[in-house]
């Protein structure tokens, strides 16, 4: 008997397909592929190399931290890399220059550091100036735009060709007027300037063509997950495919009578005689600890419900009366045939968190 422990299958062809779908939405735009948080749990270096290893390549990569950028350079990735939160310490600026990293500027401290006339760096830095048009997280106040623009364009430490950017807060809701207001404000602030612009995240790529500009910044959509809130805009509807499929094996099957409790705390009680299957995966692998009873698991082509509490190494499912399942059969937790969006809804979380929480002990198989 050969049992599969928790394994995440990474489908590179699905990733390439998703990239083509995004590219087709705005053929003239460049793509900054977002690879932060270990490429949303898919493998930083692996995803980067896939996106530069086919006919249409990503134009740049976006990461959150400088160590992610350095890891890409160490893996031989020479494409432009953008620090999406900017630099955290002025001492990092020479490192950015040496490694040809690009940085976002979103606050006064960063502006003062990069325009410091005493700063000694190998060459001027490429800067993306982030404007807060309504997200109210990172970004400069629109009233301060002219000051930042003048300071950056006059500094010898900054390349001449700034990129102007903003980030949308509600783009996943196709009819939300907040996005329309954000785009209008961004247009108003930047209309006098000839620099390239960027606003579209994954939801912007799909639902807001007026936000496409010269640069797209897709993240979640690259990995085959719908960026939209409404279920009518499913990944299948959009034409994207899951890149990660998480699977494990049935390791035990037992029949229990009506009225028996299953798992820690007896949180689920059978209403009739049924068959319980035990699957070798748990929160120690990144499966959500708070997944509710009824969360679907795909076994032998049918969805069966999670019952009882998720444990560190195991979950239990209700296989029903007289099932044909056997020990060793494969259980799909999410991915092909079972969208991660569906699991996230049952676990009262978001797909981003599920994908990013895959732990080191999960085996990785690259297809």
- Would you state the torsion angle of the CA atoms of residues 95, 96, 101, 104, taken in this order, to the nearest 10 degrees? 150
Bridge partners of 34, per DSSP, are 62
Closest CA to 311 of 284, 340, 341: 284
End-to-end CA distance of the chain: 24
Task: Please identify which of the residues 123, 181, 236, 264 carries the catalytic annotation.
Answer: 264
Annotated active-site residue 36? The verdict is yes
Task: Please identify which of the residues 36, 40, 206, 283 carries the catalytic annotation.
Answer: 36
- Report residue 245 as tokens: 């499929």
C-alpha radius of gyration, the chain, whole number: 24
Query: From CA 175, how far away is CA 75, in angstroms rounded?
Result: 42
In our burial notation (b when 16+ CB lie closer than 10 A, e otherwise), range 265-298 reads eeebebeeebbbbbbbbbbbbbbbeebeeebbbb
Q: Which residues contact 78 (CB under 8 A, 6 or more apart)?
A: none
Annotated active-site residue 174? The verdict is no
Q: Which residues are catalytic?
A: 36, 264
């Amino acid at each position: 008997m050969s049992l599969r422990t928790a394994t995440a299958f990474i489908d590179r062809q699905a990733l390439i397909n998703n990239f083509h779908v995004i590219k087709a939405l705005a053929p003239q735009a460049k793509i900054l592929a977002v690879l932060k948080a270990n490429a949303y749990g898919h493998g930083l270096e692996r995803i980067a190399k896939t996106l530069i290893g086919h006919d249409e390549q990503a134009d740049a990569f976006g990461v959150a931290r400088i160590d992610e950028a350095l890891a890409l350079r160490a893996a031989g990735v020479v494409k432009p890399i953008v620090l999406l939160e900017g630099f955290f310490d002025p001492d990092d600026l020479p490192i950015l220059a040496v490694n040809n990293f690009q940085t976002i500027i979103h606050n006064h401290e960063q502006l003062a550091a990069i325009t410091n006339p005493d700063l000694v760096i190998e060459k001027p830095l490429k800067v993306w100036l982030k404007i807060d048009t309504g997200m109210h997280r990172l970004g400069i106040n629109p009233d301060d735009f002219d000051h930042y623009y003048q300071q950056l364009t006059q500094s010898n430490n900054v390349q001449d060709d700034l990129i102007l950017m903003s980030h949308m807060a509600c783009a996943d809701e196709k009819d939300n007027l907040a996005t329309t207001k954000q785009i209008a404000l961004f247009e108003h602030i930047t209309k006098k300037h000839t620099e390239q612009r960027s606003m579209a995240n994954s939801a912007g790529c799909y639902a807001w063509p007026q936000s496409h500009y010269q640069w797209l910044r897709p993240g979640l959509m690259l990995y085959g997950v719908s960026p939209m809130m409404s279920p009518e805009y499913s990944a299948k509807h959009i034409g994207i495919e899951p890149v990660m499929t998480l699977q494990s094996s049935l390791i035990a099957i037992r029949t229990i009578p009506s009225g028996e409790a299953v798992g820690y705390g007896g949180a689920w009680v059978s209403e009739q005689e049924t068959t319980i299957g035990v699957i070798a995966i748990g929160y120690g692998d990144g499966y959500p600890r708070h997944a509710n009873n009824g969360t679907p698991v795909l076994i032998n082509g049918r969805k069966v419900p999670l019952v009882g509490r998720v444990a560190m190494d195991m979950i239990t499912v209700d296989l029903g009366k007289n099932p044909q399942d056997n020990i060793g059969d494969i259980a799909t937790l999410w991915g092909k045939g079972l969208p991660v969006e569906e699991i996230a809804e049952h676990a009262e979380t978001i797909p981003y968190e599920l994908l990013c929480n895959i732990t080191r002990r999960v085996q990785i198989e690259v297809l």
